[in-house]
Structure 1
Amino acid sequence: MKRSAVFACIAAFAFSLAGVAHAARPLKSVGVAVSDLANPYFVAIGKGALDAAKKVGGDKVKVTTVSSKYDLNTQVGQIENFIANKVDILIVNASDPKGIAPVLQKARAAGIVVVAVDVGADNADATVMSDNTMAGTESCKRIVERLHGKGNVVIVNGPPVTAVIARVAGCKQAFAGTGIRIVSDNQDAKGSLDGGMEVMTNLLIAHRRIDAVFAINDPSAIGAELAVKQAGRPDVQMVASVDGAPDAEAALRAKNSIFAVTTAQDPYKMATLAVDIGYGIMNGKRPANPVVLIPTPAITKQNVLAYKGWASH
């Protein structure tokens, strides 16, 4: 064989190897671990992950969504199952951002890309979440406006995850330097309607005057409003929240509701971005910034009719 022909063969072989090296790894399976599938927010995350995965991997891609009910041990077991089933990407809404770290490290060691959504998680490759500080600030700004900078406010708190902590911090930023007095901020309503109702009922008994309520998510805010109505407390002028959930849309449209503002998250977009980022990492493309924050605009009685909510996808 002539030397030129040998070089041509070597070049062709090298080129074919380069093509193999750069061929995108196919997406075959995605595991989605969320906190509570009774909450439409997490249902939207599951749907976003499914739609994005099928866009990338086709109709044969397998997407499994599980719910931990905010229990760390349950979530660890679910992630162990995903590891055993060798999913390509794990989308995780951590029930405990630090407690989840060892099993996430195990997942990554097994070659699984881990993307945290909604809240941060130690040992995730990347995180996609709402700008939760903005969410708390924008909601509580409306409280300051309604109360003209003076009054008693309760914060109906939630599980101690990064998103909730940031929302409360953002709310307190809005109150800083005003005459707003926070009379309670440490009651965990567990992010649920029943929890919001129970916590608010107790707060109404404990405090003779409450001018407004900030709840860390819409379910607990809806529960808080129900408690106010049942107690017949006209002193409570408004409830403010975070999520932009369908129930919050309905409450904002209702004429007799004191539900006045929610700052809108986009769980569907959050999940689609998480899958896209995870697929990029699978193929050697890490994002310049491992934390992506999605803006959270305020939805009020004045602009709710123009709001395209979670169900619009």
Structure 2
Amino acid sequence: MRLKMLAAALMIAAVPFVQAKELKSIGVTVGDLANPFFVQITKGAELEARKLAGDNVKVTLVSSGYDLGQQVSQIDNFIAAKVDMIILNAADSKGIGPAVKRAKDAGIVVVAVDVAAEGADATITSNNTQAGEMACKYISDRLKNKGNVVIINGPPVSAVQNRVEGCVTEFKKHPDIKVLSSNQNAKGSREGGLEVMTSLLAANPKIDGVFAINDPTAIGADLAAKQAQRNEFFIVGVDGSPDAEEALKRGGNTLFVATPAQDPQVMAAKAVEIGYDILQGKPAPKEPVLIPVTMIDKDNIGTYKGWTVK
């Protein structure tokens, strides 16, 4: 009997005990605070952190400008400041890996949001493959599966890569759809969309459809078309951003016609919630948490509630 009790005690002692950790400070680094999407990411993260840990939690919000070196420095600063959690929108999904490892080695929980980050404890994103497939099915259907299309690409992060992969998968179903370009990086910005689309218009006398990897890129592409006085095509983005919402409601001479919508505040809040659970000793999700997207166009824009804004 004593031997059984001793064996049981040894088994209990062998079970790892995870000490719940208080959330006192959180660092948030995103791609570009000039993009309203990332502003909403930071708002969602801050609101959820205060909801879970109270108003005294310290929240530091920074933008990498899609510069990997700058984001690495930001993570090192978070490590030096001894934050408890990092919410990371990676500038480069693979390149950020060593910095993530340093943070985890320092006992910091790292949660990737919107895009994957190598080595992160958990990943919360929209279903970006679905977004790309949905956007490009819209293009294919509208073109009756025949025409010249361009894909305006973006930064080397998983969200962009998955959207483009989803789009290409859809276009490959239709032999009469010709992809004229798919590798030009507009950096996910309005300015980049304007610059890349201007170049594509100069190189291609006939374009029937455009897939832009996010709404700022799509809005920039629309501006390029106006400047070039070209209107033979239409543009589909991704995000469901306020600018896209306004363009769809306004109609008129915009070429922007549709966007699979995400909700950045909800996504960021979920990232903080999962990070907090990990701090409390709960297991991290083994697979990325994928949030579905919803297709928005002029036919249903009247019922679209837009991004969560608090």
Q: TM-score, normalised by structure 1?
A: 0.91
For 2:152, the equivalent position in structure 1 comes to 156
Measure how far apart 1:22 and its partner are.
Answer: 8.1
Q: How does 1:44-193 map to 2 (within 5 A)?
A: 44-178=40-174, 179-193=176-190
| Residues 118-170 of structure 1 deviation map (CA, whole Å, 9 limit, x = unaligned) | 11111100000110000011111111111111100011111111111110111
Measure how far apart 1:103 and its partner are.
Answer: 1.2
| Residues 180-220 of structure 1 deviation map (CA, whole Å, 9 limit, x = unaligned) | 11011111111111110111111111011000100000001
Aligned to 1:310, the other structure's residue is in SS state coil
| Residues 213-272 of structure 1 deviation map (CA, whole Å, 9 limit, x = unaligned) | 000000010000111111111321x10011111101011112222211111111111111
Contact 2:19-2:281 at 8 Å conserved across structures: no
For 1:219, the equivalent position in structure 2 comes to 216
Q: How does 1:289-304 map to 2 (within 5 A)?
A: 289-304=286-301
Partner amino acid for 1:289? Answer: K
Q: 1:273 aligns with which of 244, 267, 270?
A: 270
Q: 1:262 aligns with which of 241, 253, 259?
A: 259
Contact 1:246-1:311 at 8 Å conserved across structures: no
For 2:56 and 2:285, the matched residues in 1 are separated by: 30
Deviating beyond 4 angstroms after TM superposition, the runs of 4 or more aligned structure 1 residues are 21-24
Aligned to 2:238, the other structure's residue is in SS state strand
Over 3 Å counting, the alpha-carbon distance change for 1:219 and 1:298 in structure 2 is same
Q: TM-score, normalised by structure 2?
A: 0.91
For 2:30 and 2:73, the matched residues in 1 are separated by: 13
For 1:289 and 1:171, the matched residues in 2 are separated by: 26
Contact 2:111-2:275 at 8 Å conserved across structures: yes
Contact 2:247-2:256 at 8 Å conserved across structures: yes
Q: Greater CA deviation, 49-58 or 225-234?
A: 225-234
For 1:34, the equivalent position in structure 2 comes to 30
Measure how far apart 1:288 and its partner are.
Answer: 3.9
Measure how far apart 1:289 and its partner are.
Answer: 3.0
Measure how far apart 1:311 and its partner are.
Answer: 5.0
Aligned to 1:308, the other structure's residue is in SS state coil
RMSD: 1.3
Measure how far apart 1:304 and its partner are.
Answer: 1.2
For 2:225, the equivalent position in structure 1 comes to 228
Measure how far apart 1:98 and its partner are.
Answer: 1.4
Instruction: Percent identity, please.
Output: 57
Whether 2:218 is the aligned partner of 1:197: answer no
Measure how far apart 1:23 and its partner are.
Answer: 7.6
Contact 1:125-1:290 at 8 Å conserved across structures: no
For 2:3, the equivalent position in structure 1 comes to none
Residues paired across the two proteins, number: 292
Aligned to 1:242, the other structure's residue is in SS state coil
